[in-house]
Structure 1
Amino acid sequence: MKLLPKLVLPLILAFAPVLAAQQKDANAGRQPPGAAIASGHALATEAGLQILREGGNAFDAAVAVSSTLSVVEPISSGLGGGGFFLLHEAKSGRDLFLDAREVAPRSATPEAFLDKDGNLDSDRAENGPWSAGIPGLPAALVELADKHGRLPLKASLQPAIRIAEQGFPVYARMARGYASRREVMDRYPGTRAVYSPDGKPIQEGDLFKQPDLARTLRALADRGFDGFYRGDVAEKLLKGVKDEGGVWTAEELAGYRVRERAPIVFDYRGWKITTAPPPSSGGIALASMLQILEGWDLSKLDEPHRIHLVVEAMRRAYRDRTFYLGDPDFVKIPQRTLTSRDYAAGLRATINPDKATPSDLLSGQQTPLEDEETTHFSIIDAEGNRVAGTQTVNLLYGSGLIAPGTGVLLNDEMDDFALKPGTPNAFGVMGFDANAPKPGKRMLSSMTPTFMESADKVAVLGTPGGSRIITMVLLGVLGYDAGLDAQAVAALPRYHHQWLPDVIQAEGNAFSAQTASALRAMGHQVDLPGDSAAGGRGSSHVWGNLQTVEWDKAKGVLSGGSDPRNPVGAAKIAQSAR
């Protein structure tokens, strides 16, 4: 299917796809002609390529990329956070999903996050020790290396250790994010020692060294799981949390485990889509939205009606997210129903093709905006192994708390729980009992690492973006289906609807004035940056940091797309020859 050019505004970009040489032999359709890595930072992409050159596979490269992002993108992710890793093993043809989401400590009861009047205490939910869940990312790096990689963990962690020790230049996004969070980060001695040594806060262009983080990475490299979750590092983490008034236990740290889960798999217009299962909400929502939309030939619609239908699909999927989704180890999720074509057809039947459905007309009863937080990388190696990895510390710089002596910036993922049912979190999304906090439970996530595969193409994609992650991946899937290349997919203008608040949020260049007017005439509220028709509020000017790689099996060509919204080397798409 070819979408009309009106799907997006013309893309005036200087970032062309980086194409590998075409494969000359008869294996062109069976193995990629090299390797491709797209990540949010050039140093992380190069770290992955270095490990491939040393004989590693995509999973070893994922360890290198993930750990290096943990060093160079502390604004987005780190060892104190968690992530999801979607894997494809070329030899067996197997797809699997590693759930390294953080878990709630035993102290994390709903009552712990309410103030004296019974309202949600946002400061406690978003900042400091109470906001932090038990980290999962270090355990994921161990699992990737031990069960799927070819090289020892120690080898794949070397680039991250080196960069943490030697430093890297502070970039504008990192400095800007720190300035916005400094008031919180300055509360904690361990954080001040790293980000404002001698009382001088980090500035763009400074050489940023993290010797404590290097030592923590080295302990992980030398001792594996026990190097982080037991012993000296664990003791420092526990003391750092306790000294700031939080409550973690040694048993909780040592008891953390990565969960291997079956991905969600469904078909969309000739594409096999493989994506994230719960505790991600992304895969179920993506299946629902795409299966609603496959009832129309979007290429035959004008731009306002096409966007209208996409928004109505978003609205319904996010409504279901609010009520049904949580940690599958704790709640029963009607996954088969929510991802079925019959259920999607029922939702489709409620959509008026010419008029918006007010969100308050969809049942609000249970039935019987993050632009720079989180990061993503995509990898295809020369054997055809694939990794889509999305990792996060939640909000900018997570909780703001570094446990002294570790260099580990802790997450603030507790805010992703429904800490008070029906009360929106920092991203404006609500939840109820399915996502209520309980000891050992994993908070609901929007991270949506995804594979697409057709008869002649394979694509790997994902993005940060908080509650907008799922809709950005949706637009990426629609872009690939429209025939766009990887770089054009990474650069697509973005819009979003999440049921509540009942508003279309959009980047500044997403809609023409005529399209915005037509959508409003259909009954939509459209929120554009600085738009007086939206009360002048607007949403963030740009969103996300989509990273994607594509393998054209028919032509034997690899290409990559890195989001041009991230100027710090993020547009670098690196590939290796076979």
Structure 2
Amino acid sequence: MLFAVLATTCLLAHAADTAHTKTVAIASANAAATEAGLETLRKGGNAVDAAIAVATSLSVVQPEASGLGGGFLALIHNAATGKDTFIDAREMAPQAVSTADYVNKDGSPNRDTSLNGPLAAGIPGSPAGLAYMAKKYGKLPLKVSLAPAIRLADEGFHPTRSLAASIKHRADVLGRYPASSAKFMPGGNPAVSTDLFRDPDQAQTLKTIAEKGAPGFYTGIVAEEMVRAVKAAGGTWTMADLASYRAHERTPITVDYAGYKVITAPPPSSGGVAVAEILNILRGIDLKNMDQVHRIHYLVEAMRRAFRDHNEYLGDPDFVSMPMDMLLSPFYADGLRQSILPERATSSSWLPAAHAPEPGMHTTHFSIIDKDGNMVSMTCTVNTTLGSAFVAGKSGVLLNNEMDDFALVAGKPNAFGLIGGSANAPVGGKRMLSSMTPSFVIGKDRLAVIGSPGGSTIITQVLEGILAFIDGKNAGEITAQKRIHHQYLPDRIDVESGSLPADVLGKLKAMGYEINDRESWGNMNVVVWDKSTNVKSAASDPRSHDGLGKVESIH
């Protein structure tokens, strides 16, 4: 069971820049996290400092989707230098990883060990990535940027309905582990929205990081407690695994489309490569002047081909040689475009084979533009709802279950239905492939900071958001628009319930498409800056009741 919450539209505040005021814009999945970012900006921080405040606050108030025990991918734009850079804080496999731990006796994937408990957890990247960003690109010390999260954890907050539902859903697994039960089910009952939820153990870990930086998490008493708890519950982490973790700075992927520059995530994200490949295919197609049926047809066929390549080629760039020149080449895209039949669906089985349950909705994304034009697009994750459901002892850190994002059993789908081969096979120290796709879209007079959670659907959500922005839609329209998704396997179009007229569905079926009607998915957060009017706008996905997109004047 997955939780994609339908609710009322989030509060939006719009304010125009003038000669006397400058505005900042933040859109995140939780109102308290957005306010934490704004608080940090008011204290003189920049977009990076605000991102650190938002990310750590989400670790406290939205643990079902992200946290210190997970990882993130982030794009940063430095307004003063014009430089764009990518921070890779993806989790990595412990050195003692063994595929035997994730396979049943009959050779099938063991979903319990890959999704639940300490064997499911990769070495977290978030604390290292946040400390790296603060030191190299921030203006404030960590003790200032982490202060809102520490206050939330110490003083407490009321769980959102989404968090309460996630705890209830994972109660059986949480109940296996004393620290998990103590954190999420005090008194033996799942926390509910009326409870005042305090997290003193995570507060202490945050204070240690604020004082000591990344070493406060990866060495010393916090690391010792996490390793002790993991090993006691059957995991394989060592102190050396934690001490060896480093965040990496990488070069973003850039692709031009329809007069806009799209800046997006490189591997170990698969998302940026897929988005670039899809846009290169669509570059030779006049989508704007097509009827709805054929627009969907060409979008889906481009998605199908990009996801096939995703499954075949992509992995951790520190371990795998990938044909990036080919995948990002417009000439390669020309050939893929020529293989699309204008009036008929391509069966995925007709394409060369690639080494593919419903896509998950957890992970979180936020978008920030500060008063000076610095930008951050950041997607954070613990993988599926509440990650591994394993809290590492008195550290208070809820661990991820990102090991399932490896191709643990070749040719078998992971929790998101994605199939991988040797490029994404688990190796000690290797980072698992991700769908996270934080992106910027830059035009002559308008720009957008965009991203979303949603497992494998992240890629298509971001793609459709980019196209909507290029078509002139504003932040609220981008987050609210209905979505479609195709990922090569399973060979079907997922269609957001009620989004397409019956005649359009009928024509797509006549072309050979299988249609899967689904409830809403994703939780997109977008910031748009219209430089022609000097107005920033921020919007959070109306499908979620927890988010807040806000614009505020900062003097």
- Please say if residues 304 and 518 of structure 1, whose CA atoms lie closer than 8 Å, have aligned partners that are also in contact: yes
Paired residue type of 1:573: K
Which residue pairs with 1:21 in the alignment? Answer: 16
Identify if the C-alpha distance between structure 1 residues 504 and 67 changes in structure 2 by more than 3 Å, giving closer, same or farther. same
Aligned to 2:553: 576
Match of 1:137 in 2: 126
**Structure 2 CA distance for aligned equivalents of residues 527 and 362 of structure 1:** 21
1:191 aligns with 2:186: no
58, 76, 93: which one aligns with 2:65: 76
CA contact (8 A) 2:479 2:524 kept: yes
Residue 426 (structure 1) aligned with residue 403 (structure 2):
no
- Say if 2:540 is the partner of 1:562: yes
> Which residue, 539, 545, 548 being the options, matches 2:526?
548
Where does 1:147-166 land on structure 2 (aligned, <5 Å)?
A: 147-166=136-155
Find the aligned partners of 1:486 and 1:201 in 2 and give their Cα distance: 36
**Shift of the alpha carbon at 1:410?**
0.2
Q: CA deviation at 1:15?
A: 5.8
Q: TM-score, normalised by structure 1?
A: 0.93
Partner of 1:360: 349
Q: How far is the alpha carbon of 1:13 from its aligned partner?
A: 8.0
Opposite residue 574 of structure 1, the aligned amino acid is V
Deviation at 1:47, TM superposition (A): 0.4
* Secondary structure of 1:207's aligned partner: coil
- Equivalence for 1:116: 105
Q: CA RMSD in A?
A: 1.4
- Return the offset for 1:17: 5.4
- Within a 5 Å distance, the mapping from 1:388-467 to structure 2 comes to 388-467=377-456
Kept after mapping to 2: 8 A contact 1:371/1:542: no
- 1:558 and 1:105 mapped to 2: Cα distance? 43
Alpha-carbon shift at residue 515 of structure 1 (Å): 1.3
CA distance in 2, matches of 1:497, 1:365: 15
Q: 370-379 or 463-472, which moves further after superposition?
A: 370-379
Tell me how far 1:250 sits from its aligned partner.
0.5
Give me the whole-angstrom Cα distance separating, in 1, the residues matched to 2:362 and 2:506: 32
Give the distance between the partners of 1:197 and 1:470, measured in 2 at CA: 37
Q: Write the mapping of 1:465-480 to structure 2, written as runs, cut at 5 A.
A: 465-480=454-469
Q: CA deviation at 1:349?
A: 0.4
Say which SS state the counterpart of residue 262 (structure 2) adopts. strand
Give the match's secondary structure for 1:520.
Answer: helix
* Contact 2:360–2:416, Cα closer than 8 Å, also in 1: no
Q: Cα distance 1:14–1:462, how it changes in 2: closer, same or farther (>3 A)?
A: closer
User: Structure 2: which 5+ residue stretches go unaligned?
Assistant: 1-6
* Deviation of the 1:165 alpha carbon: 0.7
Alpha-carbon distance between aligned partners in 2 of 1:243 and 1:513, rounded to the nearest angstrom: 56
Which amino acid in 1 is paired with 2:554? A
Aligned residue for 1:232, secondary structure, equals: helix
Aligned partners of 2:123, 2:304: CA distance in 1, in Å?
32
Q: Pick closer, same or farther for the CA change 1:161–1:268 going to 2, 3 Å.
A: same
How much does 1:115 deviate?
A: 1.6
Give distance in 1, aligned partners of 2:128 and 2:237: 17
Distance, in Å, in 2 between the alignment partners of 1:48 and 1:15 is 17
Deviation of residue 575 (structure 1)?
2.4
Contact 2:8 2:543 in 1 (8 A): no
Say whether the 8 Å CA contact 2:25–2:549 is kept in structure 1. no
1:515 aligns with 2:526: no
Question: Secondary structure of the residue that 2:73 maps to in structure 1?
Answer: strand
Look up the match of 1:290. 279
Q: Distance in 2 between matches of 1:314 and 1:17?
A: 32
- 1:107 aligned counterpart, secondary structure: coil
- For residues 519-542 of structure 1, what are the alpha-carbon distances to aligned partners after superposition, in whole Å with 9 as ceiling and x for unaligned? 1011000001xxxxxxxxxx3x11
1:279 aligns with one of 221, 245, 268: 268
Find the counterpart in structure 2 of residue 91 from structure 1. 80
The equivalences for 1:494-509 within 5 A come to 494-509=483-498
Q: Partners in 1 of 2:253 and 2:151 — Cα distance? A: 37
- How far apart, in 2, do the equivalents of 1:33 and 1:269 lie? 30
Q: What SS class does the counterpart of residue 122 from structure 2 fall into? A: coil
- What is the CA-CA distance between 1:22 and the residue it aligns to? 3.8
Partner of 1:51: 40
Residues 264-283 of structure 1, C-alpha deviations (whole Å, 9 max, x = no match): 01101111000000000001
SS at match of 1:187: coil
2:197 maps to 208
Given the alignment, which residue of 249, 267, 287 partners 2:256? 267
Runs of 4+ in structure 1 displaced over 4 angstroms?
12-17
Aligned to 1:66: 55
Cα deviation for residue 14 of structure 1 reads: 5.6
Structure 2 vs 1, CA of residues 354 and 416 (structure 1 numbering), >3 Å: closer, same or farther?
A: same
Gaps of 5+ in 1: 1-11, 26-31, 529-538
Deviations 1:220-265 (A, max 9, x none): 0011111100111001100110110111110110110001000001
Partner of 2:4: none
Q: Would the alpha carbon gap of residues 359 and 220 (structure 1) be closer, same or farther in structure 2, given more than 3 Å must change?
A: same
Structure 2 partner of 1:349: 338
Distance in 1 (CA, whole Å) between partners of 2:191 and 2:235 is 27
Question: What is the CA–CA distance in structure 2 between the aligned matches of 1:222 and 1:373, rounded to whole Å?
Answer: 30
In the other structure, the counterpart of 1:315 is 304
Aligned mates of 2:98, 2:360 — CA distance in 1: 29
Where 2:105 maps in the other structure, the secondary structure is coil
For residue 207 of structure 1, report the CA deviation from its aligned partner. Answer: 1.1
Q: Distance in 2 between matches of 1:191 and 1:269?
A: 49
Aligned to 1:125: 114
Letter in 2 for 1:317: A
User: How far apart in 2 are the matches of 1:13 and 1:256?
Assistant: 41
The change in CA–CA distance for 1:304 and 1:87 in structure 2 (over 3 A counts) is same
Q: Deviations over 1:381-404 (max 9, x none)?
A: 011110000000000000000011
Q: Does 1:173 align with 2:158?
A: no
The count of corresponding residues between Structure 1 and Structure 2 is 547
Amino acid of the residue matched to residue 544 of structure 1?
A: G
TM-score of the two chains, using structure 2 as the length reference: 0.97
3-state SS of 2:16 partner: coil
- Relative to structure 1, the CA distance from residue 290 to residue 255 in structure 2 (aligned partners, 3 Å threshold; closer, same or farther) is same
Structure 1: distance between partners of 2:315 and 2:114: 18
Q: Secondary structure at the match of 2:464?
A: helix
> How many percent of aligned residue pairs carry the same amino acid?
50
State the alpha-carbon separation in 1 of the partners of residues 220 and 553 from structure 2: 39
Q: CA deviation at 1:97?
A: 0.3
> Which residue is 2:243 aligned to?
254
Distance in 1 separating the partners of 2:368 and 2:506: 40
Secondary structure at 1:542's aligned position in 2?
coil
Aligned match of 1:333 = 322
Give me the whole-angstrom Cα distance separating, in 2, the residues matched to 1:13 and 1:259.
38
Contact kept? 2:12, 2:538, Cα under 8 Å: yes
Q: Which residue of 2 aligns with 1:221?
A: 210
